[in-house]
């Protein structure tokens, strides 16, 4: 019998994806973004695989995520990209992580915390070139932070950065505009911080244009084998690392007109059978996929029939089903020549692949695999 809900994570695929990204980056460093528990894949596990594939930096969103990586023995350079409270600054500094700043009051706060801890804080100054979120849009304000760090013995400008808004949209002119604004900022910043590394590229930019590579690229979604352009990762030489599985718990015969599930949103148009899979939105298989998605059983596609509930879904497997109780069911991943990509589910939901994998719930057991056959569970 298969697991009720199981996510298999192919760490060798993560390693190969990083090797492919590093090949494309050339001399630029690869920073593997492992925030949000590695986009649902497992942060520490995927961080190790990314490093084996050529990543030399890791990035997260929160101070606690940085501390957790350190608890798991990761010692690589680590960047915390999100906004931090006072206590979170202390936690990030204790984790020996670099911190993102963009205005003088916060940089001064970091300096006081660093002085109290008797340590040296490494800063990455963020210019908002068009994203409209964190970072200052005022170049003079960003340069003022760099000047402060140059004068303060407890601060060092380790990097300058920005965040691209439309790298995944080849039709948007903002991509080139942001790169041009950032390039001008880098030239000015290096007059006071000549050793600072410049980084802007996300996964889409790293694959799209060498002009975005600068000294380092911060790649997230691509290291997990998901397409930053929301189509097919194989077009970029990437391999999906995650598969989501359940099993057939029951097969039920239905007559024409019979319905299944809450609200009876689906009724049989003919005599048929439904397979019941013990997985649902409580596991992160979203309710919005009701009557819209397909799953794989025995290497064939079958449509989800009826409303997805918290713990079960039903699948129309036909009048003469070739499906038996206990068979493996794949909700994301491949069976034989058939595959269901996270991008396919994202399109059905009107969202992006990031949200699909990040939404896989903690109660889904993760199984980590290597090409050499080693497998370890997160249990």
* Enzyme catalytic residues: 35, 262
Neighbours of 318 (CB within 10 A): 15
Distance CA 239, CA 233 (A): 7
Instruction: State the number of CA atoms in the 13 A half-sphere of 212 facing the CB.
Output: 27
Longest distance between any two alpha carbons in the chain, whole Å: 79
Neighbours of 250 (CB within 10 A): 12
Closest residue by Cα to residue 313 from 298, 297, 335: 297
Closest residue by Cα to residue 94 from 132, 68, 59: 68
Q: How far is CA 52 from the centre of its chain?
A: 18
The answer to whether 35 and 60 are in contact (CB under 8 A) is yes
329: exposed, middle or buried (Cβ count in 10 Å: 0-12, 13-18, 19+): buried
Positive or negative CA dihedral for 102, 106, 110, 115?
positive
């Amino acid at each position: 019998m298969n697991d009720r809900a199981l996510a298999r994570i192919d760490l060798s695929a993560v390693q190969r994806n990083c090797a492919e990204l590093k090949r494309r980056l050339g001399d630029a460093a690869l920073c593997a973004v492992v925030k949000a528990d590695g986009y649902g894949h497992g942060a520490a596990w995927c961080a190790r695989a990314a490093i084996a594939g050529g990543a030399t930096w890791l990035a997260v969103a929160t101070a606690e995520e940085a501390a957790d990586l350190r608890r798991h023995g990761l010692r690589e350079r680590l960047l915390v990209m999100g906004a931090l409270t006072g206590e979170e600054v202390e936690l990030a500094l204790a984790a020996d992580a670099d911190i993102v700043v963009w205005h003088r009051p916060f940089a001064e706060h970091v300096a006081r915390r660093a002085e109290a801890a008797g340590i040296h804080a490494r800063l990455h100054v963020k210019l908002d070139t068009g994203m409209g979120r964190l970072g200052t849009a005022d170049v003079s304000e960003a340069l003022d932070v760099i000047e402060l760090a140059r004068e303060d013995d407890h601060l060092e400008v380790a990097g300058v950065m920005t965040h691209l808004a439309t790298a995944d949209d080849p039709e948007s002119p903002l991509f080139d505009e942001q790169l041009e604004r950032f390039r001008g900022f880098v030239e000015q910043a290096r007059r006071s911080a000549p050793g600072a590394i410049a980084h802007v590229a996300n996964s889409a930019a790293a694959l799209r244009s060498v002009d975005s590579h600068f000294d380092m690229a911060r790649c997230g979604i691509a290291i997990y084998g998901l397409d930053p352009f929301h189509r097919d990762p194989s077009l970029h030489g990437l391999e999906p690392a995650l598969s989501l599985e359940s099993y057939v718990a029951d097969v039920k015969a239905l007559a024409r007109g019979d319905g299944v599930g809450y609200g009876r949103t689906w009724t049989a148009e003919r005599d048929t059978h439904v397979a019941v899979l013990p997985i649902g939105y409580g596991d992160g298989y979203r309710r919005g996929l009701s009557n819209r998605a397909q799953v794989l059983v025995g290497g064939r596609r079958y449509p989800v029939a009826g409303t997805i509930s918290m713990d079960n879904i039903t699948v129309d497997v036909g009048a003469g089903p070739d499906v038996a109780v206990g068979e493996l069911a794949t909700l994301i991943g491949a069976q034989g020549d058939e595959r269901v990509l996270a991008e396919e589910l994202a399109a059905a939901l009107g969202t992006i692949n990031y949200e699909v994998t990040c939404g896989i719930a903690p109660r889904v057991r993760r199984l980590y695999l290597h090409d050499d056959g080693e497998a370890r569970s997160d249990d």
